[in-house]
Amino acid sequence: MWNYSEKVVDHFLHPRNVGEIPDPDGIGEVGSLACGDMLRLTFKLGPDGKIADARFKTFGCASAIASSSALTEIIKGMTLEEAAAVTNRDIAKYLGGLPEEKMHCSVMGREALEAAIAWSRGERTEPYRLEGEVVCKCYGVTQKEIERVCAENNLTTLEEVTHYTKAGGGCGLCHDRIREIISGSAQKEQKPAGGDELTNVQRIHMIEDLLEKRIRPALRQDGGDIELVEVDRNVVTVKLKGACATCPSSSITMRQFIEKELTKSVAGDIRVEEARH
């Protein structure tokens, strides 16, 4: 039996924003009934260009319903640029975590959001289309999706990839190919981890990008924020703001979240320190 958080149970039993928006500005549809999970996300932009309303229809398990419900709550009030930075981990975190075996539901939410944003910008005329090599034919998962999920969630095993994407959970004929992709993704991650090939300017740009796209949106969900103060070689000085500034767990946030994200995605020798003034 899955160990669900209280928030997952609440969003499953009392899902928010169920339905479909008439004449929406964004439409994202992913998954299929044949695969067991399907999500249709629609949203409407307000006069200020921010997402004023978002609704969903889904076919799937409790985690799929809860993840879809949480997604609509997360993106309300966001600009398209802010919404585009939402990751599957943001959805899982909002729900207080998901069982590893159900993380693919949060990934489906992120895919639907991306498809809806692309539709809104005129980059797509159809709700969703698989792109690139289809690795898992049972569940329609591509190489591109596996590589991305591995990079975003630091996945290193076949079992983890199956939990996050369903790939490999059917006939099993794709297992060797998935392992090849995992190995290739790990080698790509090792390059920036050494940091020797990066100039300080490159490091700063990568850090700023990561703060804006991953770290700041996650902190803002809890009423916090972050400001980059200085980058001196491998030492990154930041200032925590909002709820994070007075939170007794700020040191844990610094080490287990912010520093972990930077060392994983920018350089393995990075150390994060908090500004004292």
- What is residue 140's predicted lDDT score, i.e. its pLDDT? 80
Phi, psi of 268 (to 5 degrees): -70, -15
**Which H, E and C letters describe the chain, residue by residue?**
CCCCCHHHHHHHHCCCCECCCCCCCEEEEEEECCCCEEEEEEEEECCCCEEEEEEEEEECCHHHHHHHHHHHHHHCCCEHHHHHCCCHHHHHHHCCCCCHHHHHHHHHHHHHHHHHHHHHCCCCCCCCCCCCCEEECCCCEEHHHHHHHHHHHCCCCHHHHHHHHCCCCCCCCCHHHHHHHHHHHHHHHHHHHHCCCCCHHHHHHHHHHHHHHHHHHHHHCCCEEEEEEEEECCEEEEEEEEHHHHCCCHHHHHHHHHHHHHHHHCCCCCEEEECCC
**Residue 213: which pLDDT band, with cuts at 50, 70 and 90?**
confident
Q: Are 236 and 261 in contact (CB under 8 A)?
A: no
What average pLDDT does the segment 164-182 reach?
89
* Residue ranges of domains in the chain, CATH in brackets: 6-120 (3.90.1010.10), 134-192 (1.10.10.1100), 200-274 (3.30.300.130)
- What is residue 259's predicted lDDT score, i.e. its pLDDT? 85
- What is residue 193's predicted lDDT score, i.e. its pLDDT? 43
pLDDT in tens, 68-101: 999 999 999 999 989 988 888 899 999 999 988 8
CA distance 217 to 223: 10
- What is residue 194's predicted lDDT score, i.e. its pLDDT? 44
Catalytic site includes residue 136: no
Please determine, for residue 36, whether its predicted confidence score (pLDDT) is greater than 50. Answer: yes
What average pLDDT does the segment 105-132 reach?
80
Please determine, for residue 143, whether its predicted confidence score (pLDDT) is greater than 50. Answer: yes
What average pLDDT does the segment 226-237 reach?
87
Catalytic site includes residue 35: yes
pTM above 0.75, yes or no: no
- What is residue 195's predicted lDDT score, i.e. its pLDDT? 42
pLDDT above 90 covers what percent of the chain? Answer: 32
Minimum mean pLDDT range among 48-52, 171-175, 220-224: 220-224
More confident residue, 244 or 68: 68
Please determine, for residue 53, whether its predicted confidence score (pLDDT) is greater than 80. Answer: yes
Catalytic residue, from 61, 105, 136, 244: name it: 105
- What is residue 126's predicted lDDT score, i.e. its pLDDT? 61
pLDDT in tens, 55-71: 999 988 899 999 999 99
